[in-house]
Every structure is written in C-alpha cells, then in structure tokens.
Structure 1
Amino acid sequence: MEFLSPDGEIGAPRQAAGFLAMTVTGALVLLAALVSRMWAAGVAGLASSLWRADIALALALAGLAVLNLVDHAIAPLAGVFRPEVGDGGLIENLTVTVMLFPAVIFLARLLTGRIRQGHFGPLVMVALSLVLIAGFGEEVSWGQHWFGLAVPEAIATTNLQSEINLHNYIEPGMMEAIYYVAGLVLLLVAANLRLILQPAPQAPGFLALKALLVLSAVLLCHHVFQELGELAVMVAAFVVWKRIDDGRLQLKPRWLRTLTAY
C-alpha cells in the first residue's frame, strides 16, 4: 500500500503534499486561536498566554525538527536519532522514558497508599499503565538490542526489520497512513480543544498547549519526522494527563469525567 509514498524522502509527491496540507492547516488553526485570544485579551493577554512552558516545549521540538532534517539530508547525527534498524538515540530514549511517567506515578501512589489521589481512578490507571508498558516494550523491541537477544528464525524471516515486535509486521504504506490519520485526529483535537477541556478556575488557558498539539500532529505526517513526532505526542499526552490529574485542566464532557474517574 504505497498510500503516502513511504520512502522517507522530502520530495515523495503524495507524502510531501500531505505534509504540506497538514502544516498549512495547523498554521491556520493556530492563527485563528491567536487572533481570537488577541481580540479577547489584547496584545498583553496574548503575550501572557504564550509565556508558558508548553511554548518552550514546542520550540524545543521545532529545534529538534531542524536537527532531524540535518540528520536526514546532510549528515547522520549519531546518538540523537536512532538508526533505521535498531534502538537507541536521544529521541527514542526520551520517548520511552516519558511513556512510562504515568505508570511510575501510579506505582508510587500504589506503594504509598495514595491510590485515589488525582483525577484518574485505579481501574483506568491500571489499564493505562498496561498499555504504556506494552508500548514501551514494542518501542524497544522487548529489549532485543539491549540484551543481544537471538531472533527466532520465524521472526527473522517475516518481520520487516527482523526485530522482536509486532508493529514491524505492518506494511510501510499502511504505517504511513496510520500515522497520518493519527495526525489528523490530533489536529482535530487541537482545533476543538475547548469542547474537550476547560481550564480550572484561576488557571491559564491553553493557547500554548494548542501550539504543542498542532506541532505534534504535523510531525507525525512525514516519515522523516515520525520518530520525533512520537516524542512530541508522548510529551503532549503526558502534559494533558498530568494537568487533568492535578486539577489544572478539567475534562468538559461529563461522561468522560465519570469514565476516567473509575
């Protein structure tokens, strides 16, 4: 399925067109949010909304995207980005570390008897922790490269990269399509954030958070940036999760608040 020309090249026609369309749409979403905020609160209010940690995170990720282009088009940056086959590199290590944050926080609460602290209930946190641990295992090929595990012949001959994981059984074109759809969903979430979340009283709005979500969506939509896109999504997801759990953000739909509190 060569849906988005998954060859990892900036010039791949359909992938480049899709990436450009996502970038322009994301920019329009942010522009609409900026104009709306400036209209409501003036220039000072807009500056205050942007003076947030989320903007620092977005700028750091944008800087890494520039390095990503250098790694792809000019010279490999060993130690920053992982090789095509194998694990490692700063970006992947950060991704898997952030991925485990909620599970570690839940385990700490469980061990200290504070399991009911925060918004998310124990059943939801157990399910989330299991999903994150499984994602962690898949991302690091279940320790294959860390421990030098021998790959069974059945896996070596059928897995796209001869690695002990499931996601490499997905055809590259299908994987590109999945990432692109995920980016579209994330962009829709960013565009409709006020229907999903609301700031707690006296808490700042989420214009800066919207910028982080839009950047995450855009990075997912091209093969070259997808490793960095995974990190951006994990960072954005953790920021949202932690702020809901701390009460700085609230889920707006009542059914969603009820469901996540179990």
Structure 2
Amino acid sequence: MEILSPDGEIGSPLQAIGLLLVTLAGGLILLRGLAAQARDTGLGGLVTSLWRYDSAVALALVALALLNLVNQFTPLTGVFRPEVGDGGLIENLTITVMIFPAVIFLAHLLSGKPRRGHFGPSMMTALSLALLAGFGEEISWGQHWFGLAVPDAIAQANLQSEINLHNYIPPGMMEAIYFATGLVLLLIAANLRQILKSTEQVRGLLALRALLVLSAVLLCHHVFQELGELAVIIAGFLIWKRLDDGRLSLKPRWLKTLTAY
C-alpha cells in the first residue's frame, strides 16, 4: 500500500511501525498528564485546563489529518500542497504563522519603542533570521511565486528542481530528521512541567502538551508531515507569545538567561 510506503525507499513499513510506537508513547504521556492534572486541581480544574485555544487547534489538526488520508486517494486541490511545487492552504498557514514573530519584532524596531517582552534583542534577532530562512526555504525563495527560471545545475541536482537547500537532503535522511524531531517533541511534552510554568491560576499546560504530542505524531509519517510542520510552528508560536506576554515562564535558569539576551 502506498500509504505504508510513500515515495518508495523512504516509506517502508518501518515508518508505519514508528508512527504506531510514537502514537502509543504520546498517549501514555497524555494519560499521565491527565492523571496529574486531575490529582492537583480536581475534575473542574481538569476541564478548565482543557478548555483552551490549544485544544481547539489540536482538534482542528486531527480533522485535517483525516482529510489528509482522504487526500491520498482523492486529491483535495488547494488544501494540501502538490507533490512538486508550493501552495495549498496548509503550507500557506504554516508560512504565515512562521513569519509572525519576525514581523512583530520588526514592527517594534521600526516604531522605536522599547520592547518589554521576555525575549531580548539578540535572541529575537537570531529567531527572526532563522524564521526568515525557514520561510524562504518553504516557498523555495519565491521560485513558484515569481516564476523564476531554475539553472540547469540546480534542476539536475535538486530532488524537486527547486531553489532551496532542503531538497538536496536524501529522502531517507530527511525522514530520519523528521522522526528524530518527533522524538524530541515527545521528550519536551513529557517534561513540560520541568521546562515551563504557567502564571495563570489554573495550570494551562495540559492542552499545550497535547498539541506537542500531536505535532510529534504527525511528523513521524511522510503522509502527515506537512500537517506536522504546521502543528510544530503553531505550538512554537504559542509558547513564544505566552513567554513574551508573561503568561508562561521558563523554569531552567540558564534557559531563562539565554533567551533574555
């Protein structure tokens, strides 16, 4: 079946097994989080902690994942990106959310007003440059937007004949990178209370933990990786915004100091 072996060599049934194992591990992490939340705040606190924007985002991503399965058999033009090229609702959402922090930081710089958020100017400059680079890679540096001609040397060497760097990475290596990223996200989700602290009365980390687990699961199979990228970007944006607004704080002192530069 193609769904178990997308793109030939990068799929293999091992990818499906990896997806299953990560899903099971993610489920255990969420069950542990549910039990801890119910123990600490009671049923009312548990419901309140789940009644958050993060939960709505996670549910929307689950619905899109189901649509993604449909897309494997009946292509949904305009929703998911084509095999070659850019475009589609999901990719456009990803690049839009990705660029938000850089745009907000640039607006502060142009306004000349002092910035009072958690992240310092050096960290925000580095983050903005990284996001701009990711934005450029995601849109192939405007190749499809502006109809840029691709030099023959790039067309022959690049896997999709696009002006970007990530398509020079062999497919098997790219799948390994995605899977490793998923495992890192699972570790972060499992240890979220040791990394972040909510400044709100009822701890708001359970829904965020669910979003991180879902991001990890989606990244671990080729079929869902476009959605996985969107989930990671949204989770990262929510954490960044809440840290900057003071609704979340970092627990490790070294990390708090580093991000404040």
Q: TM-score, normalised by structure 2?
A: 0.95
3-state SS of 2:249 partner? strand
Paired with 1:117 and 1:60, the residues of 2 have a C-alpha distance of 33
Paired with 2:71 and 2:8, the residues of 1 have a C-alpha distance of 12
* Unaligned residue ranges in structure 1 (runs of 5+): none
After TM superposition, list the pairs within 5 Å mapping 1:211-222 onto structure 2: 211-222=210-221
Does 1:113 find its partner at 2:112?
A: yes
Paired with 2:153 and 2:12, the residues of 1 have a C-alpha distance of 33
Residues 89-132 of structure 1 deviation map (CA, whole Å, 9 limit, x = unaligned): 00000000000000011011111223422010111111111110
Paired with 1:202 and 1:211, the residues of 2 have a C-alpha distance of 20
| Corresponding residue of 1:155 | 154
| Corresponding residue of 2:203 | 204
1:42 deviation in Å?
Answer: 2.0
Paired with 2:216 and 2:142, the residues of 1 have a C-alpha distance of 28
1:200 deviation in Å?
Answer: 1.5
Paired with 1:48 and 1:8, the residues of 2 have a C-alpha distance of 45
Bigger shift: 249-258 or 200-209? 200-209
Does 1:33 find its partner at 2:33?
A: yes
* Unaligned residue ranges in structure 2 (runs of 5+): none
Residues 43-62 of structure 1 deviation map (CA, whole Å, 9 limit, x = unaligned): 21211111111000100111
Aligned length: 258
Letter in 2 for 1:25: A
**Cα gap change, 1:95 to 1:102, in 2 (>3 Å):** same
Indicate if the aligned counterparts of 1:183 and 1:218 stay in contact, CA closer than 8 A.
yes
| Corresponding residue of 1:15 | 15
Paired with 1:246 and 1:116, the residues of 2 have a C-alpha distance of 11
Letter in 1 for 2:15: Q
| Corresponding residue of 2:86 | 87
Paired with 2:184 and 2:203, the residues of 1 have a C-alpha distance of 24
After TM superposition, list the pairs within 5 Å mapping 1:59-208 onto structure 2: 59-72=59-72, 74-202=73-201, 204-208=203-207
Paired with 1:47 and 1:210, the residues of 2 have a C-alpha distance of 15
Indicate if the aligned counterparts of 1:213 and 1:233 stay in contact, CA closer than 8 A.
yes
1:204 deviation in Å?
Answer: 3.5
Letter in 1 for 2:188: V
Query: Percent identity among equivalent residues?
Result: 72
| Corresponding residue of 2:53 | 53
Paired with 2:6 and 2:117, the residues of 1 have a C-alpha distance of 42
